Amino acid sequence: MTLEIITPEKSVYNGKVTLVQFPGASGSFEVLDNHAPMVAALKQGSIKIKDTESKITLIEIKGGTVQVENNHVLVLAD
């Protein structure tokens, strides 16, 4: 699936991933390939990204929203 993380200033991440873990407003959650469509609020914390080569990346955010649809994950982060 494709992950795109955008802040008001710049694009922070854009690439193919196998897993993304988010700091959701109601608790952390993961998104895997072929996840059902959803929109969720995010709180301050780390987004954990596992790319197609099993490399783990952590990106700190202050909050935002995530939209999942058709194997495309879009994060609008603060």
CATH code: domain of residue 55: 2.60.15.10
The 10s digit of each residue's pLDDT in 48-78 is: 999 999 999 999 999 999 999 999 999 999 8
* d(C-alpha 12, C-alpha 29), whole Å: 20
Question: Domain tally for the chain?
Answer: 1
pTM: 0.93
Contact 23, 11 (CB under 8 A): no
Q: How confident is the model at residue 11 (pLDDT cuts 50, 70, 90)?
A: very high
Q: Which residues span the domain enclosing 69?
A: 2-77
Six-digit token string for 56: 């783990």
The residue assigned the tokens 């990346």 is 57
The residue assigned the tokens 């959803």 is 38
